[in-house]
Structure 1
Amino acid sequence: MQTPFGKETYLYWYELMLLLRRFEEKAGQLYGMQKIRGFCHLYIGQEAVAAGLMTAINDNDNIITAYRDHGLAIAKGIPAKECMAELYGKATGCTKGKGGSMHFFSKEKRFFGGHGIVGGQIGLGAGIAFAEQYQDTSNVTFCFFGDGAARQGMLHETFNMAVLWQLPVVFICENNHYAMGTSVERTSKVLDIYRLADAYDMPGDSVDGMSCEEVHKAIDRAARRAREKGGPTFLEIKTYRYKGHSMSDPAKYRTKEEVEEYKEQDPINHVLKTITDNQWATEAEIEAINEKIRQEVEESVKFAEESPWPDVSEVYKDIYVDQNYPYIVD
């Protein structure tokens, strides 16, 4: 089987996507056991977006997204144990147990949320890109949002400004076809969401989000354009979530046949087939990866279970910026 990507890339994709899948499956199980409380939006089915992204960007690039953030956070390098601890609300979590499922964050990994306000991160993503442009770096900001957020006024105002100032930002709509329980068809006459870019003279494209290969190629093109000071790009990455909008959503608005149709395109199975067809790993080596991921997820649960709760003294910390804190940090 001919492919423009090599063995190492496919093995990386397989291991990363399997970690995201198993982490989310475990999170769903723990939610049912009431170990995890509050809101919880799983990324199951959308893993190829995160995997294709990571092989196309640089370590210093920025990511900002909405509340379905577990997969992108782990992909960007936040350890699974810190993510699980955050779901538990423990002090060792990536936001000290204060953010929960919707608000993962890591300055070190340049992952700037996890945002609960629909579409609110779109303007923030452009702001981060403006800071990079102002400081004359080569870093690109990848701003993710869902198909529901594409209906927000924030998107249009931000698109206009981003194109006007030629900001190094890639806007990515993870179109999983449902804004909570409302299909795209019921909210807009424009079903090809990427065409919204046309009104702003911004390059836009539609991408198969069930394919790591196609995601990688599209993001690589957009990232190169931004680094070469060619301005923003809008990518509509068509993907699918196998579960409901959140853990409280039974997803009765979809047929079983529709869900099964997308599962037949499962990106993990696709990548694994490519690996086996090319004899890039033996059955024993694949099983070793599976066991490694199983242990990593179990260790993340153990870490969360054994971690302390935040101390009451932390309640008012990290809320307001210290007046003496410099506004620009090197």
Structure 2
Amino acid sequence: MDKLTAKEIYETMVVGRRFEYAAKEHYMEGKISGFLHLDIGQEALSVAAMKAFDKGDVFTTYREHIMAIARGMEPKAVMAELFGKKTGVSEGRGGSMHLFDPSHFFYGGDAIVGGQIPNAVGCAYARKFQGSEDGVLVLFGDGASNGGAFFESLNIAGAWKLPLLFLCENNRYAIGTEITRVAPFLEQAKKAEPYMPTMEVDGNDAMAVYEAVSQAREYIQKGHGPIFVEAFTYRWEGHSMSDAGTYRSPQELSIWKSKDPIERMKRTLKEHYGMSDEELEAIEKEADAIVEEAVAYADASPEPELSTLHDHLFVSQEVRHALS
């Protein structure tokens, strides 16, 4: 990885964490409604995976704020969506769990656990039929790997050699259930081994994630069929803002916080790329400014007009004719 890419990954990780803390603050103030799933602690995986899979279609979970920003969405438009404002990426209609933007080939925020996996299979089939070389990435949690649609998707993707990268975000918990209580092993990649090649990576190491996803992307783009990558990481917050996370001990949290992916990437930039403390501090100040601007923009943006309440419920005649 060159210095420019490493710096860009770090910059986005820092923006992402500050964005999430700001979202948490304004949720508690009542400016953000509905569900809010924070990605604090998982920034290395969320950012590096998006940067490595720079072309192609992306399907994600509903813990997708940082992934959306890393994919290219403006932080202020993402924050406005969380605020339910007209200037949001989905015009305030999707909220935190539905950051959908076809212009960035980002079909994120499926609110059904594992619901994005069969959707990604369908997209990968379409892309293969079209002769596209970019492929498809689908990211999901360890809990989703216990669903029936997960195994059906592995089977179809493997049988038809679809250009699909399965990326499992193994943070050990499906809401409050530790994965080894509902699966016979921690490594969920074992479930995929009969269907396709598998890889494991430290999800808190941005450099390692970038390399693994880059290799996997190249594999599917060469027409070899699907591949499964499992990244081990950990969320510092509860499953959502309604989850106090009392099922985890303070000792467990302390251990994982000592593996902070942002601090790890900062050390890499200093030791491997020769960046100074002043350069890193400048990045942090810029991140603060970006997030402050995003909050101010979201706060000042208008609400969607009540008259548009029933818009986008059905396909328009113009769109229907264009698709026929």
Q: TM-score range by the shorter chain?
A: over 0.9
Runs of 4+ in 1 over 6 A off after TM superposition: none
Q: 2:169 aligns with which of 167, 171, 174?
A: 174
**Offset at 1:10?**
2.2
Closer/same/farther in 2, CA of residues 320 and 64 from structure 1, 3 Å limit: same
Deviations 1:6-41 (A, max 9, x none): 322321121010011000011011111111111000
| Correspondence 1:22 to 2:18 | yes
SS in 2 for 1:189: coil
| Correspondence 1:259 to 2:259 | no
SS in 2 for 1:198: coil
Is contact 1:49-1:209 (8 Å) kept?
A: yes
- Between the aligned partners of 1:213 and 1:279, the Cα distance in structure 2 is 12
Give the equivalent residue in structure 2 for 1:36.
32
Give the equivalent residue in structure 2 for 1:307.
301
TM-score between both structures, scaled by the size of structure 1 = 0.94
Which stretch shows the higher mean deviation, 230-239 or 319-328?
319-328
Closer/same/farther in 2, CA of residues 209 and 112 from structure 1, 3 Å limit: same
Q: 1:101 aligns with which of 92, 96, 100?
A: 96
Is contact 2:123-2:136 (8 Å) kept?
A: yes
Q: Which consecutive unaligned segments of at least 5 residues does structure 1 have?
A: none
Give the equivalent residue in structure 2 for 1:8.
4
Give the equivalent residue in structure 1 for 2:144.
149
Give the equivalent residue in structure 2 for 1:122.
117
- Between the aligned partners of 1:266 and 1:231, the Cα distance in structure 2 is 34
Q: 1:319 aligns with which of 313, 316, 323?
A: 313
**Offset at 1:290?**
1.0
- Between the aligned partners of 2:180 and 2:322, the Cα distance in structure 1 is 44
| Correspondence 1:72 to 2:67 | yes
Is contact 2:44-2:261 (8 Å) kept?
A: yes
Aligned residues: percent identity? 40
Give the equivalent residue in structure 2 for 1:63.
58
- Between the aligned partners of 1:42 and 1:189, the Cα distance in structure 2 is 28
- Between the aligned partners of 1:83 and 1:264, the Cα distance in structure 2 is 29
Which stretch shows the higher mean deviation, 75-84 or 282-291?
282-291
What one-letter code is carried by the residue in structure 2 that aligns with 1:115? D
| Correspondence 1:89 to 2:81 | no
**Number of equivalences:** 323
| Correspondence 1:47 to 2:43 | yes
Give the equivalent residue in structure 2 for 1:159.
154
- Between the aligned partners of 1:150 and 1:98, the Cα distance in structure 2 is 29
| Correspondence 1:238 to 2:232 | yes
Give the equivalent residue in structure 1 for 2:212.
218
- Between the aligned partners of 2:153 and 2:92, the Cα distance in structure 1 is 31
- Between the aligned partners of 2:176 and 2:258, the Cα distance in structure 1 is 22
What one-letter code is carried by the residue in structure 1 that aligns with 2:283? I
SS in 2 for 1:144: strand
**Offset at 1:61?**
1.4
- Between the aligned partners of 2:235 and 2:188, the Cα distance in structure 1 is 18
Which stretch shows the higher mean deviation, 298-307 or 124-133?
124-133
**Offset at 1:323?**
4.9
Is contact 2:3-2:273 (8 Å) kept?
A: no
Aligned-residue RMSD, C-alpha: 1.5
What one-letter code is carried by the residue in structure 2 that aligns with 1:223? R
What one-letter code is carried by the residue in structure 2 that aligns with 1:272? K
Is contact 2:270-2:276 (8 Å) kept?
A: yes
- Between the aligned partners of 2:60 and 2:98, the Cα distance in structure 1 is 9
**Offset at 1:328?**
8.1
**Offset at 1:281?**
2.4
SS in 1 for 2:209: helix
Is contact 2:85-2:298 (8 Å) kept?
A: yes
Give the equivalent residue in structure 1 for 2:127.
132
SS in 1 for 2:104: coil
| Correspondence 1:113 to 2:108 | yes
